[in-house]
Amino acid sequence: MSDVAQRAGVSISTVSRVINQSMAVSTDLRRQVLQAVEALNYEPIRVGSASDEGNLASIAVIVTSLRSPFFSNIIAGIQSVSFDHGYTTMVFDSDNDQEKEIIHVNELPYHAGIEGVIFAGIWAWEHEDHIVELHKHGIPIALINRRVPDLTLDMLQVDQSLGTFEATSHLLELGHRRIGVIFNKANAGVPPPDQLAGVRRAYAEFGLEMDANQIVETEFSPQGGYQAAMKLLNQAERPTAIFARADRLALGVLRAAYELSISIPHELSVVGYGDEPDSKFWTPGLTTVRQPQYEMGTRAAEMLFERIENKNLPQRQVIFQPRLIARESAIAYGTPIDLAANQESLHG
Q: Which residues pair with 92 in a beta bridge?
A: 62
Enumerate residues 6+ apart whose C-beta is below 8 A from 115: 47, 49, 50, 57, 58, 59, 87, 140, 308
- Dihedral, CA atoms, 329, 335, 341, 344, nearest 10 degrees? -40
Asked if 112 and 238 sit in the same domain, the reply is no
- pLDDT at residue 140 above 70? yes
Asked if 108 and 232 sit in the same domain, the reply is no
pTM of the model: 0.74
- Judge contact between 290 and 322, C-beta under 8 A: yes
Asked if 82 and 55 sit in the same domain, the reply is yes
- Going from the C-alpha of 310 to that of each of 31, 37, 314, the distances in angstroms are 40, 36, 10
Asked if 24 and 65 sit in the same domain, the reply is no
Least confident residue range of 128-137, 138-147, 176-185, 292-301: 128-137
Going by pLDDT thresholds of 50, 70 and 90, the confidence category of residue 110 is low
210: how many CB neighbours lie within 10 A of its CB?
A: 16
Element (DSSP H or E) covering residue 63: strand 58-63
Instruction: Return left, alpha or beta for 331; rule: phi > 0 is left, psi -120 to 50 is alpha, else beta.
Output: beta
- pLDDT at residue 171 above 90? yes
* Total domains in the fold of the chain: 3
Instruction: Specify the CATH number for the domain of residue 203.
Output: 3.40.50.2300
- pLDDT at residue 187 above 60? no
Asked if 77 and 190 sit in the same domain, the reply is no
Percent of the chain with pLDDT over 70: 81
Domain span including residue 106: 50-159+294-321
3-state secondary structure of 116: strand
In tens, the pLDDT along 43-96 reads 654 445 545 454 468 899 999 888 777 888 899 999 999 988 888 899 998 877
Asked if 258 and 302 sit in the same domain, the reply is no
